């Protein structure tokens, strides 16, 4: 009997998203799951019940039916008290949980002997990117933040010069260059604004520039990179220098978008009331950290406030304002997680007449971090993430032991001696070959040996990662080959041409053709690579 995935309607006030969409239901069905959806679950995301039915899901009239029938519940918001009562013992819940902020919720869920996978606890490693719901929703929040700023701002983002007058471009300052910050930078730059950004992690400076922004550094040497891709709490000296930088930017820019959050901690206050007061009238602040208290001292979570002529947008539901797109991305994250769950699905004869059961592989880093409760046992927090090992230090060269006194000389030959012997042998062979060869053979043979040496040093002896940048060098060598081949082909064919001359001309023609392909192909590849790094 297949496992049943249940998708109830979200009851949290203002929540418009839904945990799955018809396109993903079809994929879940192909994996062997059955899907049941509460009637009206997708209404606020413009997804009707008929769409779910056509995709193969069963639409049930009430939430109680969904919770009682489903083996696995897909949700967005953490469950409230009524939903916890509906969750059947031994079931599985996949949702946002925020275990650090909700210890009481963890106790209630553990008492139900359920298994809970927290989408907010997916580790931020390359292998888990497809399940990273925080990033997928933060991307939407960053985009929507710019749209809200444009709505509240009384001017174009892009500069214009018209017959009616000149409009300067808007200046946008983004604090924090995580997923949301980078999305905001890209969106504002695409709208034509002058974008500046700051982040405590130095390695994101190139990412800011690649998205069309300008990195604004803080005049203080300290790296803010923490574990798991997040920033860490900075020292008081850095924070003071940071405040000075932000105060200067507040006087210059028209829009500030703040995204600074540290997991498990209240949002840091980065924009003070004095900074807001120094901004130009009509300026806008969009605080993406409003749900955790806000990065601005004057933010009113969930509302739009006006202080000193500055509009401060403190919405806590930015992804919900793009409900269908946000639901689709979140549903895809859940589907990718279900792919890992299906790998551990097995049939137990003693359980529910052979109903499939899920056994989580707690040795898998992604599953281990995501699972906060396993069959009633609290497994959060997970062990520290496995960081990439530092490159091993190069082993010291072994020092050959000196020959014991009175036991004769050492049998090992030193490196300079070995090289001298090799050169002596090569010179002897070269002399023997030249002694019996035609007079002009020696010159050709020398060119051949040098050509082999150059080819070895330029291509064969170079790490594959550098082959493409070496296109310019290999093209230069190809040019030399083409010139030599043209010289061989250039003289007109005479009536008494010999067979060797005909062979040489044929080989030269083939060399021209092959080398031309290499040259033009190399230039084409190099041009395509450069286009990847060129701003449109």
Under 8 Å between Cβ of 118 and 263: no
* Each residue's pLDDT tens digit, 429-465: 777 777 767 766 767 777 777 777 766 666 666 555 5
Strands 115-118 and 371-374: antiparallel
Average pLDDT score, the chain: 84
**Average pLDDT of the residues in 464-483:** 63
Q: Regarding predicted confidence, which is higher, 87 or 451?
A: 87
Give the count of alpha carbons within 13 A of 460, CB side only: 7
* Each residue's pLDDT tens digit, 181-210: 999 999 999 999 999 999 988 889 999 999
What integer pLDDT is reported at residue 156 of this predicted model? 93
**Average pLDDT of the residues in 376-388:** 81
What integer pLDDT is reported at residue 348 of this predicted model? 46
Q: Rounded to 5 degrees, what angle do the CA atoms 454, 459, 463 make?
A: 135
What integer pLDDT is reported at residue 109 of this predicted model? 95
What integer pLDDT is reported at residue 375 of this predicted model? 92
Q: Regarding predicted confidence, which is higher, 71 or 349?
A: 71
Under 8 Å between Cβ of 323 and 340: no
Under 8 Å between Cβ of 256 and 271: yes
What integer pLDDT is reported at residue 466 of this predicted model? 52
388 is catalytic: no
**Average pLDDT of the residues in 359-363:** 85
What integer pLDDT is reported at residue 397 of this predicted model? 47
pLDDT > 70 fraction of the chain, expressed in percent and rounded: 79
Going by pLDDT thresholds of 50, 70 and 90, the confidence category of residue 353 is very low
Catalytic residue among 124, 155, 243, 321: 124
230 is catalytic: yes
Catalytic residue among 34, 121, 135, 242: 135
135 is catalytic: yes
What integer pLDDT is reported at residue 350 of this predicted model? 43
What integer pLDDT is reported at residue 347 of this predicted model? 41
- 413 pLDDT above the threshold of 90: no
Residue keyed to tokens 């919900």:
320
Q: Regarding predicted confidence, which is higher, 358 or 368?
A: 368
**Among 176-180, 295-299, 388-392, which is the least confidently predicted range?**
388-392
For 132-192, give the DSSP string: -HHHHHHHHHHHHHHHHHHHHSSS-SS-EEETTEEEPPPEEEEE--SHHHHHHHHHHHHTT
Q: How far apart are the first and last CA of the chain?
A: 54
**Average pLDDT of the residues in 24-32:** 94
**CA proximity to 334, closest of 74, 9, 53, 93:** 74
Q: Is residue 347 helix, strand or coil?
A: strand
pLDDT > 90 fraction of the chain, expressed in percent and rounded: 56
Catalytic residue among 129, 278, 375, 488: 129
**CA proximity to 123, closest of 320, 268, 327, 337:** 337
Strands 34-38 and 214-215: unpaired
- 354 pLDDT above the threshold of 80: no
* Each residue's pLDDT tens digit, 173-187: 999 999 999 999 999
Catalytic residue among 26, 53, 108, 230: 230
Catalytic residue among 71, 120, 132, 199: 132
Q: Verify cis geometry, omega within 30 degrees of 0, for the bond prior to 381.
A: yes
How would you label 79-95 residue by residue, b for 16+ Cβ within 10 Å and e otherwise?
A: beeebbebbeeebbbbb
Distance from C-alpha of 297 to C-alpha of 275, rounded to nearest angstrom: 10
């Amino acid at each position: 009997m297949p496992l049943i995935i249940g998708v109830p309607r979200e009851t949290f006030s203002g929540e418009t998203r839904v945990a799955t969409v018809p396109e993903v239901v079809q994929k879940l069905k192909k994996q062997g799951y059955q899907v049941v959806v509460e009637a009206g679950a997708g209404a606020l995301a413009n997804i009707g019940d008929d769409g779910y039915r056509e995709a193969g899901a069963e639409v049930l009239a009430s939430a109680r039916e969904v919770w009682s029938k489903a083996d696995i519940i897909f949700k967005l918001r953490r469950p409230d008290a009524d939903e916890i009562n509906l969750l059947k013992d031994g079931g599985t819940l996949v949702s946002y949980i925020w275990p650090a902020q909700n210890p009481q919720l963890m106790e209630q869920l553990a008492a139900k002997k359920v298994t809970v996978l927290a989408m907010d606890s997916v580790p931020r490693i390359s292998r888990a990117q497809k399940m990273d719901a925080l990033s997928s929703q933060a991307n939407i929040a960053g985009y929507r933040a710019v749209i809200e700023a444009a709505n509240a701002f009384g001017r174009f983002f892009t500069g214009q010069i018209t017959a009616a007058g000149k409009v300067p471009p808007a200046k946008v300052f983004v604090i924090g260059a995580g997923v949301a910050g980078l999305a905001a930078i890209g969106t504002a730059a695409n709208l034509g604004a002058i974008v500046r950004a700051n982040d405590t992690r130095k390695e994101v400076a190139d990412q800011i520039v690649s998205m069309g922004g300008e990195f604004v550094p803080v005049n203080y040497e300290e790296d803010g990179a923490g574990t798991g891709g997040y920033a860490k709490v900075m020292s008081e000296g850095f924070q003071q220098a940071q405040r000075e930088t932000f105060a200067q930017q507040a006087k210059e820019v028209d829009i500030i978008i703040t995204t600074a959050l540290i997991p498990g901690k209240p949002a840091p206050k980065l924009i003070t009331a004095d900074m807001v007061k120094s901004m130009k009238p009509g300026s806008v602040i969009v605080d993406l950290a409003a749900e955790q208290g806000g990065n601005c001292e004057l933010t009113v979570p969930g509302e739009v406030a006006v202080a000193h002529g500055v509009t401060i947008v403190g919405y806590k539901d930015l992804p919900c304002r793009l409900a269908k797109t946000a639901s689709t991305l979140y549903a895809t994250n859940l589907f990718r997680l279900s792919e890992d769950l299906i790998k551990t699905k097995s049939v137990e004869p003693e359980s529910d007449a052979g109903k499939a059961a899920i056994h989580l592989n707690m040795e898998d880093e992604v599953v281990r971090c995501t699972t906060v409760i396993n069959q009633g046992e609290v497994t959060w927090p997970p062990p520290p993430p496995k960081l990439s090992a530092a490159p091993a230090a190069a082993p010291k060269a072994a020092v050959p032991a000196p020959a014991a006194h009175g036991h004769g000389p050492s049998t090992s030959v030193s490196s300079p001696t070995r090289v001298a012997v090799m050169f002596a042998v090569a010179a002897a062979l070269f002399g023997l070959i030249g002694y019996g060869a035609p007079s002009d053979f020696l010159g050709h043979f020398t060119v051949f040996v040098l050509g082999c040496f150059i080819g070895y040093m330029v291509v064969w002896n170079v790490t594959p990662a550098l082959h493409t940048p070496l296109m310019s060098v290999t093209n230069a060598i190809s040019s030399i080959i083409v010139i030599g081949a043209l010289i061989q082909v250039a003289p007109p064919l005479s009536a008494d041409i010999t067979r060797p001359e005909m062979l040489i001309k044929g080989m030269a023609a083939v060399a021209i053709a092959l080398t031309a392909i290499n040259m033009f192909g190399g230039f084409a590849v190099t041009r395509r690579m450069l286009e990847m790094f060129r701003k449109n």
